[in-house]
Amino acid sequence: DVKVTQSSRYLVKRTGEKVFLECVQDMDHENMFWYRQDPGLGLRLIYFSYDVKMKEKGDIPEGYSVSREKKERFSLILESASTNQTSMYLCASSFRIGRSGNTIYFGEGSWLTVV
């Protein structure tokens, strides 16, 4: 079974702290994604990566950065956490988009509260 593992399920951080959210997948997927999910807004794409060291901005990249040094690991970084970044963060991975039949696999989510 494909597994996408997010390192932290629940985090509470203070405003201004640097926050790292880690994600690891075990399927040799080219693509990895970070979404945030807020009530009434659905899933919004923050960043995605289609290969090691490659990254593309999604719909809401402001206040976030990412790192993909190894194919299986994709990290989301909040350089200086703010209260409006309190949210559920979802990591996902897939084979290259456009390949017929590619499925997106999600982690269990990380609930981040910034106080």
Partner 1 sequence: SQQGEEDPQALSIQEGENATMNCSYKTSINNLQWYRQNSGRGLVHLILIRSNEREKHSGRLRVTLDTSKKSSSLLITASRAADTASYFCATVGYSTLTFGKGTMLLVSP
One of 43, 60, 67, 72 touching partner 1 (CB under 8 A): 43
Q: Which is nearer to partner 1, 11 or 111 (CB)?
A: 111
DSSP code, position 8: -
Does 7 interact with partner 1 (rule: CB under 8 A)? no
What tokens appear for 103 in the block? 């499925």
Task: Quote the CA–CA distance of 65 and 56 in Å, as a whole number.
Answer: 10
Give the nearest distance from C-beta 16 to partner 1 in angstroms: 27
Task: Quote the CA–CA distance of 7 and 20 in Å, as a whole number.
Answer: 9
Q: Which is nearer to partner 1, 42 or 84 (CB)?
A: 42
Give the nearest distance from C-beta 27 to partner 1 in angstroms: 13
Residue 49 parent element (H or E): strand 42-49
Whether residue 94 contacts residue 105, with contact meaning beta carbons closer than 8 Å, is answered with: yes
Contacts with partner 1, residue ranges (CB under 8 A):
4, 35, 40-43, 45, 88, 90, 92, 94, 97-98, 100-109, 111
